[in-house]
Amino acid sequence: MNPKPARPHEIRSTDDTGLNLNLILILVLCFFLYLSLSACSKTDTAVPNEAIYQKTDYGTLIPYQIADPDLKSRFNKNVLADSLYYEKGDTAWTGFKTQNRRFFEDVITPAIEPYLDTLSTLSPSEIINQLALFTFNIYQAYFGQSFYRWGGDLFDLDDPQTHRGSSRKLYGLDCSGFVAAPYEMAVHFNLLPDTVALFSWQGFKYYCEKTGFEDQGGLDGGSNNYRLDTRELYRLGDEILRIEKGGSLSPDDLTKLRPGDIAGRNGHVGIIVFINNEPYYLESGGRVVPPTGGYPVKADSALEIFARNRYVSVRRGIWRSDEG
């Protein structure tokens, strides 16, 4: 007796079976490739434990700051900015603006005023070192280990921002706002003149007026109130050294670093500080400090990770006004 013919949807060909097996093999290979790449990625960005400074004592003149509960009820990472309609020349948009200056006046200024006389006796680089560590500490105390806010600067100079989730935050600093903050404090409190502190909005304004360099960081393509962004920072000051893609710092390179040096490129910057006479790296955002839980990272390890994908330029912004 002849077998009953199979209906079309019941037919199974050996070719189809082979294709299914090939597909399974391809999926398995892709899975293992993904695991391999993920492992490489984690290795590339992993910071050695011995390179992470996990203590709260930075050995600084200004004591380690702990948030006041009453003040923290007003200044914390959960406070959001209201949207506002903003007109600038022929351009108009709706965005969100920071109020870091309120935090500066109500929290930072009272904390720093008792130490101004002593700070004024220090060298320019040591002043910046003290203020950079203080800024890092006090922003973490109030806004968490990651205090990043897209378009955030100390004096609220940046245009209202229109995108990215963090731009809804009322308080916080982005990478360039953070590295500029100690320089801007130094000028504000008359610890350094604007003719010296190039990496401050005040010093940048002076520099533009003297050299013809243009402030073009606004969302409309025009001025941004001399608010420094990465596009300016990686072009200003003196380049002390450059780490090419995939490179690292030599022992000789490490001896060239000074407190207040800015390390970065167009897109992201961080700042060099010294803790117990050793160079460390701080940043807001980025992929070096945040994965460690927000702790300072030794400069050699940090900059090697930073340079994995592209070059890193280390620049000095204590500027002499007799230079063009």
Domains of the chain: which residue ranges?
65-316
What is the mean predicted confidence (pLDDT) over 21-50? Answer: 56
How confident is the model over 148-161, as pLDDT tens digits? 999 999 999 999 99
Q: Report whether pLDDT(183) > 60.
A: yes
Q: Report whether pLDDT(35) > 90.
A: no
How confident is the model over 59-73, as pLDDT tens digits? 999 999 999 999 999
pTM, entire model: 0.84
pLDDT at res. 37: 39
How confident is the model over 202-254, as pLDDT tens digits? 999 999 999 999 998 888 888 899 999 999 998 899 999 999 999 999 999 99
8-state DSSP, 107:
I
Q: Quickly list H helices, the chain.
A: 14-45, 69-72, 100-103, 109-112, 116-119, 124-143, 175-188, 201-211, 230-233, 251-256, 299-306
pLDDT at res. 29: 56
H-helix or E-strand containing 290? none
H-helix or E-strand containing 170? none
Give yes or no for a contact between 178 and 110, defined as CB atoms under 8 angstroms apart. Answer: no
Q: Report whether pLDDT(191) > 50.
A: yes
- Beta-strand relationship, 262-265 and 238-243: unpaired
- The residue type at 174: D
Position 22 confidence tier, pLDDT thresholds 50, 70, 90:
low
Question: Can you state the angle between helices 175-188 and 124-143, rounded to 10 degrees?
Answer: 120
